Structure 1
Amino acid sequence: MHFSRRRNDEPEINLIPFIDVLLVVLIFLMLSTTYSKFTEMQVTLPVADTDAQRDYPKELIVAVGADGNFSVNHSVLQGRSLETLAAALTEATKGAKETVVVISADASAKHQSVVTVMEAARRVGLNQITFATQSSSQAAQ
């Protein structure tokens, strides 16, 4: 008897299903991922170009220094707390709720200092708040 030898074929790995699954995962990741580039964001504030500055009939100027100190109508406050600022705003407005609070913050002042002014104005009941800026031509000088 003559037995024929069977050919021993090497098994093959089919890569097509593997590539299909990888492409589906790649598409899913591309669609569901958000890309944020925080290192490219450069903000220089406050500079704004306006046609004319408004004069409000009853305005209260609150200045925020670069070091976080506050000044209400050119009177420097001795504390940086929210309660001290709220008391100074109440004294300066004398109960007039239609007073406009003009926040004049230094460009390098901390954001928390400006938020503190806004919170103190809210506690006192002053709802009209605006920000003082300088035009870009003044900033270049």
Structure 2
Amino acid sequence: MSGLHQRRRKRPEMNLVPLIDVLVMLIFFAFVTMQFRSVATMNLTLPKVETAGKSELKDSLTITITKEGEFTFQSGARSRKVSLDELEKLIHEVGGISKDITVLIRSDENTPLRHITGAMDICRKNGLNKIRLQSR
């Protein structure tokens, strides 16, 4: 009987590490491809900035830019749609009065950057260097 050894069978075991890796990758993929949608009540969806402060400015004018590139100029309670040339003339007039006025630029989050930088460039050319971008 010494020649007959009973071999002990190893218990089958399942390696969980590769399964956990696959699960983590699936969860990560789900978060990356997920689209979060919120109901917008206005036609303008401001970009979200985590570190944004309050945009309460006393002496300011507001330039609103839609995603189609339309400009609205607001000074005080008056607001009107303007072309890029009209915007440049209005900013020139304001810059001639005072260089201390703060310009608040509001734009849709899908507005092309060229419209925003164009408005900022017009302000800087006319000496208005206090420019703020509004976010939500």
- Tell me which interval the TM-score lies in, with the shorter structure as reference length: 0.5 to 0.7
* 8 Å Cα contact 1:62/1:70 also seen in 2: yes
* 8 Å Cα contact 1:89/1:121 also seen in 2: yes
Which 4+ runs in 1 deviate beyond 6 A? none
Aligned to 2:116: 114
Normalised by the length of structure 2, the TM-score is 0.57
Alignment RMSD (CA, Å): 2.5
1:100-121 CA deviation, whole Å, 9 max, x = no partner?
1111011111100001101110
Sequence identity, in percent? 20
* Separation in 2, partners of 1:65, 1:90: 22
* 8 Å Cα contact 2:64/2:106 also seen in 1: yes
Show structure 2 runs of 5+ residues with no match. 1-31, 33-45
* Separation in 1, partners of 2:52, 2:135: 12
Show structure 1 runs of 5+ residues with no match. 1-39, 135-141
Aligned to 1:88: 90
Normalised by the length of structure 1, the TM-score is 0.55
Aligned to 1:67: 68
Shift of 1:91: 3.5
Matches within 5 A, 1:94-133: 95-133=97-135
> Max radius of gyration: which structure?
1
